[in-house]
Amino acid sequence: MTRQIRLALRAYGVGGPGQHSLWKDPRVPKNASIDIDWYIAQAKAAEHAKFDALFIVDSQFIDATYPPHYLNRLEPLTLLSAVAVHTRHIGLVGTLSSTYNSPFNVARRFASLDHISRGRAGWNVVTSFDTGTSRNYGLDEHLDYATRYGRALEHVTVVRGLWDSYEDGAFPADVERDVFLDPAKLHPLDHVGEHFKVAGPLNLSRSPQGQPVIFQAGVSEEGRNLAAHVAEGIYAPNGPLESAREYYADIKRRTAALGRDPDHILVFLGAQPVVAGTDAEAHRLSREIFDADNDFPRKLAAFGRAFGAYDFSRHDLDAPFPDVAGHAERGGRTRGGEIVRRAREEGLTLRETVLAFTEYRPSPFTGDPRTVAGTIEDWFAAGAFDGLNLGFRTHEDLDRFVGDVVPLLRARGLFRTEYEADTLRGNLGLPVPANRWTAAEALR
Same domain, 256 and 319: no
pLDDT at 130 over 80: no
78 is in an annotated binding site: no
Same domain, 230 and 155: yes
Same domain, 378 and 346: no
Same domain, 305 and 251: no
How do residues 66-87 score in pLDDT, each as one tens digit?
889 999 999 999 999 999 999 9
Please give the tally of structural domains in the chain: 2
- Domain boundary (332, 357, 382) is at 357
pLDDT of residue 294: 79
How do residues 187-209 score in pLDDT, each as one tens digit?
999 999 999 999 999 999 999 99
How do residues 8-58 score in pLDDT, each as one tens digit?
999 999 998 888 889 999 999 999 999 999 999 999 999 999 999 999 999
Structural domain contains residue 289: no
Same domain, 180 and 326: no
**pTM over cut 0.85:** yes
Same domain, 252 and 374: yes
- Domain boundary (337, 357, 377) is at 357
Amino acid 216 reads: Q
pLDDT of residue 331: 62
Domain that includes residue 310, residue range: 295-357
Phi and psi at residue 321, to the nearest 5°:
-55, 130
Same domain, 51 and 107: yes
Same domain, 438 and 328: no
Same domain, 65 and 89: yes
Structural domain contains residue 286: no
Structural domain contains residue 209: yes
Q: Check which CATH number belongs to the domain holding 142 and give it.
A: 3.20.20.30
Structural domain contains residue 28: yes
- Domain boundary (357, 378, 405) is at 357
Surface-to-core class of residue 240, CB atoms within 10 Å of its CB (0-12 exposed, 13-18 middle, 19+ buried) = exposed
Structural domain contains residue 283: no
157 is in an annotated binding site: no
SS3 per-residue string spanning 317-328: CCCECCCCHHHH
Same domain, 324 and 391: no
pLDDT at 1 over 80: no
Q: What is the largest CA-CA distance in the chain?
A: 82
Structural domain contains residue 285: no
